[in-house]
Structures are given as C-alpha cells and as structure tokens.
Chain A
C-alpha cells in the first residue's frame, strides 16, 4: 500500500517557465512534508518542507503548497532552470507514536528543464 504517491513519472518544462510537481498521500496521520531533489549517483538533497499547520511555504524559487482536505501537496519552481533537471521526491512524516522521524517517500518525478 503506497501511502505517498507521485503519479507523474516525468515532467518536461521550458527554461524560465513554471514547474509544478504533485504528490498525494493517504495517511491522515502525516503532519510534516518534505521535497527532495536527487541527481544520479548522489544522495537526496533537502529542498523545502511544510508542516500541516501551514498551507504554503516559500524559499526563493521554490514554493510548497499543502491542501490537507485533499491530501495533496505540490512543489512550484519558478523560474525553472536547466540545473533543476533531476528526480524530485515527495516525502511525509507522521506524528510521534512509533514512527518518530521515519520518512515515507513517493516514487519520484523526473523533471527535465529544456534550455
């Protein structure tokens, strides 16, 4: 049972335009969400996070939106740059109990930004 889903395996965008990556989750206990970027042969790099008490968090070109009622979050990258080309993972973390800091990851979306 996949609790975090990224339904788009890939996304292609022109340089300078907006990239929108989507993520859905099923577990209502998740209360902290993160986006990671990953290049081949490297570990995931933390990009941005959002707590369930917020609906938006912004950091430079990156904005994450959270819609709790729809159990949906999205990452907006504006403007997109060729260096943003990578695999993007959505991850979720639950509230205490026995899960502590465990991250549950989506399957990833390959973003390609064309010059």
Chain B
C-alpha cells in the first residue's frame, strides 16, 4: 500500500459527460501528479501541483483541468468526454517539487461509452 488513495476505482459514463477523479496523497507529501495510461500511449504525464500551485503541465487536453486543495488532496476534472478518454488515471505523490521518487495510487479506470 503506497499510502496514496484514489476514488472512485471504476467509472463508466457516456460521451459528452463530465467526471471528477479524486486523489489523496501520502501523509506529508506536498506534490501531486496525474498520469494517464491508455493502451496505445502508455503512461503519460498530465499535470503536477505542489502545495496548491500548478508546477508542470504535460499534454493535458483543454477539456481536462485539475486543482489541489488546502488539505493537499487533488481533483482531476474531465469534461466533454470522448471515447478516446477511456483510460486508467493514476495519481502519484512525492515530498518534493523536483526529481525524486513518486508513489502511485491504485488508479481510476474510466470507461466512456
């Protein structure tokens, strides 16, 4: 158990809908990262927050947004969902802004029908 929790475990929704994925980092970790794992793209970095501030952005679609709250939990919002958004979404946390070990949650499997 990495100490990172993610909810929900599974999510099935229709195209055009909006969903929110939630992540609680390990106790004491200030950085939260979001990654997407799809069959054809592998694990892709989406976005990083550190102590409530956005720090780095990957190839995150404009339809996707995230935030980190004062209690350090984070939410990833996905809107106007398309079939291609079906993937595993992982959250990871670490105790630093820069390079270092990241500890991953169990993921949320999103299926868009």
Of A43, A101, A105, A106, the contact of B98 (CB 8 Å cutoff): A101
Tell yes or no: A86 within 8 A of B by CB.
no
Interface 1/0s, chain B 35-58, versus A by CB < 8 A?
100000011110010100001101
Q: Do A99 and B56 contact each other (CB < 8 Å), given the known contacts A89-B43, A104-B45, A105-B43?
A: yes
The stretch that binds B, out of A15-23, A60-68, A73-81, A90-98, is A90-98
| Chain B contacts for A100, CB-based, 8 A | 48, 50, 55-56, 97-98
Chain A, residue nearest B41 (CB): A107
Q: Do A34 and B101 contact each other (CB < 8 Å), given the known contacts A42-B106, A100-B55?
A: yes
Tell yes or no: A44 within 8 A of B by CB.
yes
Are B102 and A101 in contact, CB atoms less than 8 angstroms apart? yes
Q: How far is the CA of A8 from the CA of B45 in the complex (A)?
A: 22
Q: How far is the CB of B32 from chain A (nearest CB, A)?
A: 10
Tell yes or no: B84 within 8 A of A by CB.
no
Tell yes or no: B107 within 8 A of A by CB.
yes
Of A42, A46, A98, the contact of B103 (CB 8 Å cutoff): A46
Count contacts between A and B, CB distance < 8 Å. Answer: 76
Q: How far is the CB of A38 from chain B (nearest CB, A)?
A: 9
Are A43 and B45 in contact, CB atoms less than 8 angstroms apart? no
Q: Do A102 and B101 contact each other (CB < 8 Å), given the known contacts A43-B4, A43-B90, A43-B106?
A: no
| Chain B contacts for A44, CB-based, 8 A | 43, 90, 104
Which B residues, 65 to 113, have Cβ-Cβ distances below 8 Å to chain A?
90, 92, 94, 96-107
Of B56, B90, B105, the contact of A101 (CB 8 Å cutoff): B56
**B residues adjacent to A (C-beta < 8 A):** 2, 4, 31, 33, 35, 42-45, 48, 50, 55-56, 58, 90, 92, 94, 96-107
**A residues adjacent to B (C-beta < 8 A):** 31-32, 34, 36, 41-46, 49, 51, 89, 91, 93-96, 98-108
